[in-house]
Chain A
Amino acid sequence: MIKRLFPMPIHTLILLLVWLFLNDFSVGHLILGFIISVGICLIAAPLMDEHPTVKRPLLALRYALMVLLDIIKSNFEVAVRVLSPNASLRPGMVALPLDLEGEFPLAVLASTISLTPGTVSVDFSEDMKWLYVHVLHIDTEEAVIHLIKQRYEQPLKEIFAC
């Protein structure tokens, strides 16, 4: 019953939170937001595929903050790259072997890569075992792969417990 009424409890919660962000934190909006969030989830549920859920929320939060900082950091790097002469650039493609499994965790990984220092996810291989990444400036390929695997893939594996 509860499962049928709240098919996506986490989503419902997030939506409620966003609703309160959008409006204000008042009792009225709490009630209204709750109704709307539940309603939306009921409508959207059939359109959602099953995904592995976050098993370790705290770790996820830490991961998010880390990515945020990386974004800021990466931006300064990119700014420097952009402003320095093109000749000093050494762009390149990297094929990243994946240990992570599941579409959703992989999507998060790919997004993270795109948002962080000098890398943009280009495409997965068909078997989802490789992620092609375009790098703005490659010093060594191994360093790039290592960094991504250590810094992002590993925590994601833990978060989604896979």
Chain B
Amino acid sequence: MNVLWILLLPMLGIMAPLITARMGRTACAWATAIAPFAALVILLRQTPKIFAGEVDTWWQEWIPSLGLNLSLHLDGLAYLFALLILGIGLLVILYARYYLSERDSMPQFYASLIFFMTAMLGVVLSNNLIQLWLFWELTSISSFLLISYWSYRSDARKGARMALAVTGAGGLALLAALLLIGHVAGTYELREVLAMGDTLRFSDYYPIILVLFLLGTFTKSAQFPFHFWLPHAMAAPTPVSSYLHSATMVKAGVFLMARFYPVLADTDFWFIAVSLTGMATLLVGAYTALFKHDLKGLLAYSTISHLGLITLLLGLGSDLAAVAAVFHIINHAVFKASLFMAAGIIDHESGTRDMRKLNGLWNYMPITATLAMVAAASMAGVPLLNGFLSKEMMFAETLRQDTLGALSWWIPLLATIGGALAVAYSLRFMHDVFFNGEPIDLPKTPHEPPRYMRVPVEVLVVLCLLVGIFPQFMVGDLLNAASGAVLQRPVPEFSLSIWHGFNVPLAMSAAAVTCGALIYINRRHLFQFQGQFRELDAKLIFEGAVQQLVQRMTAVHEWIENGSLQRAMFLMLLLALAMMASPLFSMLAVEGLRPQIPTNWVVTFCTGLLIVSTILTVWWSHRRLRALLALSVVGLIVSIAFAYFSAPDLALTQLSVEVVTILLFLLALFFLPQHSPALDSSLRVIVRDLGVATLFGSVVGTICYAMLTRPLTSISDFFLANSKTGGGGTNVVNVILVDFRGFDTLGEITVLGIAALGIYKLLARIALAMPSADSNGIPWSKERRSVLLALVSQSLLPLALLVSMYIFLRGHNMPGGGFIAGLITAIALIQQYVAHGVEWMKERMPINYQALIASGLCIAILSGVGSWFFGHNFLKTWYDYFYLPGVGKFELASAMVFDLGVYLTVIGATLLILANLGKMTTSERLRAGDQ
């Protein structure tokens, strides 16, 4: 339970700086420190239990199907890291209070910092693989916020992005690795997984797991060749650097390697991959550090180098090496944090970090100089300081491995060279900054920092000394506990003392110090040599690579998506063709066994006519009015076909829709260009399209024929049987429409209504280009109203309305119904618009068509909802027969009400569409016509 609070308190603490934002900087810092401090107290109270080897856990089910639970544990390793995170974190909070200037947003900084701290604590305390990953990603995200804190600076933005990209990519690999581990282990609980080392190591997945896992950890811990992001993360404020690059962020990768040491290490693959990478990083980092003129740059590469060292130790695979690794994690965190803070003080008080300008600061800030030099000496591995101890252990361990066989001696040699380089750059840090003459062109006159800004450095440097001098007392138990957690077995004997006698590691240390000093003294030659090579800026390369990637992808994308509808349509139809045709190849006979209807002359005429008019529609598609006429013939024949094949309702619907469509087409013709080229594409494209079209048509025709000639057993007998008895109508099609499947019809009229609204929207604020002459250049006739047309249309109106009523009323029993009747009424009214014009109609028939649509819909819905009050489902219909003397028997049905809704909606929608288009043009025409 305590472990939960260690995580929860900082998590809640994120709010503290935000709440106290207005209370002043000191208050904000204090408030921020409360939660981590409390967590630290809780952590420290666990010390005896941890040192006794107990593990505190907390578990809460969260997402069982994912294997993700809220699961925390506090063992030695977690304790060590939590201690570093909270302890150094508190020092950084104090330090940042003085480091940040007035114009920096303190709450934002502290909130991000605590967010990061929480994430880091989550990583080390997680006892669930996926939860661990969750916090791992949160460290990437929160570090992004910290690095980009000065977001107005380009280098901060780019550095942050690069860090996020690299660690984010690694994070994804890690997710894959963790999922695989969980899959192989059968559990995602870390402590259970840790007990399954052999299962994992002998699994087929092991190599891929290891590769993915190492990708995750190496990127996070800035191992070669993924180290390039780290120096650019130095664009962050120095408190951030001192936190991220000493105790936390970059240590997360190392932590993870240590954490999974029991299950993934102890194979040759592990040894080769981890130790060699570590060695390479150690050397590359140390060597590069030597040439950095920027203080923080030097420290950054030194960090890389030390991370390489820890990785190397973990890679060696021996238990003592692991102990050394853990020890060095502690030591590095302590001295590197203090060094960054010192560098920050120097920067803060002198205005630069350039070592070429910084000289002789000893005279200006002696205390800071002393502190920094002690820490740097620890970094160099000078005896009596903590760095010395872990380095000696490392040298000792490099001598013990033999996996490389006869070439195994390379490893200690290279390690010594690394040590020498470390001495060299540490010397440079000390000598170049604090001695080496007088400062050059400093923006400010340097002086000691505010008192409390130095306190964190002092604390850390004292720790360096104490650990260096009294190692066993200071960290013996801690190291034991942490190493035990890493190894998951009893820790081997190790001795933490300053003096082990004259031995090879001591000789190696001596050699390193000597060589280091020599290298530093002769640095001019080395600088000259290095000067030949162009310095590569990883940021530029990375940005360039990303831009290259974006450009390439943009090119590919534009090549694929050229914005052409024709291509999209072609691909869609081609795919449809392929998918539709693919099963047909396995069809044995197209023709089925259903008896066919004998054909006759008239049908042949009509089929021929249909085909000819279809072809004409295509042929004339650029002679637009002609195409429309041909299309009308097609529609006419389709209607006749419906009538012929026993579908009178369809014939009626098709006919009336046809006419309205033609009216719409005519409107379109008027506003669209009158001419278009006969060949709108190249001949190749046309032939290609013709080919696809022909194939498509033949496939659809084939399927149609195959279907027509096969018998069908369908659910329709039910409709025929129940239409009269259940729906009260003899026109089964209509009963299906208003009753059996009335819901479809409701949707259908809604579609019609919405279409009308959409069209109304389309016509809003449209500036229509009206041609003043037809396609032959003949100006339009000046006669607005033809007498004969107007009169006859007028006299036909009542007749047409009567017909529509006739068709509406008998629809339930005979061909007809609300939809057709509605269209007839609409057409009759449109005919008035055509004959008399919009103005005339508007004066005499001020109907709000959209209200008509709405009322139609509402009536249809009400007829359905009405059945609720009789305890029935929506659209349950009712009908009955009544008898009136003199009139006889007649039927009343609720379906008629529904049909009335359909009727009104259709009228409203059709007229809204057509009359509004007319209305738009009228005003235009009045202006254009007067000229």
- How does the 8 Å CB contact mask read for A112-129 relative to B, with 1 for contact and 0 for none? 000000000100100010
With contacts A15-B799, A26-B888, A48-B794 taken as known, whether A107 is within 8 angstroms of B806 at the C-beta atoms is no
The answer for the CA separation of A103 and B793 in the assembled complex, in Å, is 13
CB distance from A64 to the nearest CB of B (A): 15
Q: Are A28 and B844 in contact (CB under 8 A)?
A: no
Q: Given that A23-B806, A47-B797 are contacting pairs, would A104 and B887 also be in contact in the complex, using a CB cutoff of 8 Å? A: no
- Tell yes or no: B791 within 8 A of A by CB: yes
Known: A27-B888, A111-B788. A44 touches B806 (CB 8 A): no
Contacting residues, chain B, for A63 (C-beta < 8 A)? none
* Given known A103-B787, A107-B787, A107-B791, contact A40–B798 (CB-CB < 8 A): yes
Chain B residues lying within 8 Å of A103, measured Cβ to Cβ, are: 787, 791
Task: Among B802, B845, B884, point to the contact of A36 (Cβ < 8 A).
Answer: B802
Do B805 and A36 have beta carbons less than 8 Å apart? yes
Q: How far is the CA of A124 from the CA of B844 in the complex (A)?
A: 26
How far is the CB of B70 from the nearest CB of chain A, in Å? 72
A46 surroundings in chain B (CB, below 8 A): 844-845
Give chain A residues whose Cβ lies under 8 Å from the Cβ of B884: 28
Q: How far is the CA of A76 from the CA of B410 in the complex (A)?
A: 120
Q: Does B32 make an interface contact (CB < 8 A)?
A: no
Closest-CB distance, A112 to chain B (whole angstroms): 12
Query: Which residue on chain A has the smallest CB distance to residue B807?
Result: A22
- The answer to whether A104 touches B886 (Cβ under 8 A) is no
For the side of the interface on A, what is the size category?
20 to 34
Provide the B856-886 mask, 1 if CB < 8 A to any CB of A, else 0. Answer: 0000000000000000000000000000101
1/0 contact trace for A5-27 toward B, CB 8 Å?
Answer: 00010010011001100110011
- Is B893 part of the binding interface, using a Cβ–Cβ cutoff of 8 Å? no
A15 and B798 in contact (CB under 8 A), knowing A22-B806, A31-B887?
yes
Q: Are B806 and A47 in contact (CB under 8 A)?
A: no
Complex formed: what's the CA distance from A36 to B788 in Å? 27
Residues of B close to A48: CB separation below 8 A: 794, 797
Q: Is A106 interfacial (CB-CB < 8 Å)?
A: yes
Contact B832 A47 (CB under 8 A): yes
A110 and chain B: residue at smallest CB distance: B788
Q: Does B794 contact A43, Cβ atoms closer than 8 Å?
A: no
| Interface residue B801 (Cβ < 8 Å from any Cβ of A) | yes
**Cα A104 to Cα B6 with chains together (Å):** 98
A18 touches B887 (CB 8 A): no
Instruction: Contact check, B788 vs A44: say whether CB atoms are below 8 A apart.
Output: no
Chain A residues numbered 74-121 whose CB sits less than 8 Å from any CB in chain B: 103-104, 106-107, 110-111, 121
Tally chain B residues at the interface, Cβ within 8 Å: 23
Could you tell me if A124 and B787 are in contact, using CB atoms closer than 8 angstroms? yes
Are B788 and A47 in contact, with the CB atoms below 8 A?
A: no
Chain B residues whose C-beta falls within 8 Å of the C-beta of A110 in the assembled complex: 788
Are the C-beta atoms of A47 and B791 separated by less than 8 Å? Answer: no
Shortest distance from the beta carbon of A106 to any chain B beta carbon, whole Å: 7
CB distance from B794 to the nearest CB of A (A): 6
Whether A40 and B802, one on each chain, are in contact in the complex, defined by CB atoms closer than 8 angstroms, is yes
A7 to B806, CA, bound (A): 22
Q: Is B664 an interface residue (CB 8 A)?
A: no
CA distance A15 to B805 in the complex (A): 11
- B890 on interface, CB distance cutoff 8 Å: yes
- In the complex, what distance in Å separates the CA atom of A49 from the CA atom of B794? 8
Which residue of B797, B798, B884 has the most chain A CB atoms within 10 A of its CB atom? B798
A41 adjacent to chain B (CB < 8 Å) = yes
Task: Please pick, from B787, B801, B890, the residue contacting A43 in the complex, using a CB distance under 8 A.
Answer: B801
Contact of B805 among A26, A40, A44, A106 (CB under 8 A): A40
- Contact in complex: A28, B794 (CB < 8 Å): no
The answer on a CB contact under 8 Å between A11 and B791 is: no
Flag whether B704 is at the interface (Cβ < 8 A).
no
Contacts of B832 in A (CB 8 A): 47
The interface bits of chain B over 801-824 (1 if a CB of A lies within 8 angstroms of the residue's CB, else 0) are 111011001000000000000000
Chain A residues near B888: list those with CB within 8 A: 26-28
Contacts of A37 in B (CB 8 A): 802
Q: How far is the CA of A124 from the CA of B801 in the complex (A)?
A: 29
Q: Write the chain B residue with the least CB distance to A107.
A: B791
B843 closest partner in A (C-beta): A46
A121 to B786, CA, bound (A): 13
- With A27-B886, A28-B887, A28-B890 as known contacts, state yes or no: A47 contacts B844, CB within 8 Å: yes
Residues of B contacting A40 with CB < 8 Å?
798, 801-802, 805
Closest 9 CB pairs of A and B: A28-B887, A46-B844, A107-B791, A40-B801, A44-B798, A27-B886, A36-B805, A22-B806, A40-B798
A-B contact pairs, 29 of them (CB 8 A): A11-B798, A15-B799, A18-B799, A18-B802, A22-B802, A27-B886, A28-B887, A28-B888, A31-B887, A36-B802, A36-B805, A37-B802, A40-B802, A41-B798, A44-B797, A46-B845, A47-B797, A47-B841, A47-B844, A47-B845, A48-B794, A48-B797, A103-B787, A103-B791, A104-B791, A106-B787, A107-B787, A107-B791, A107-B792
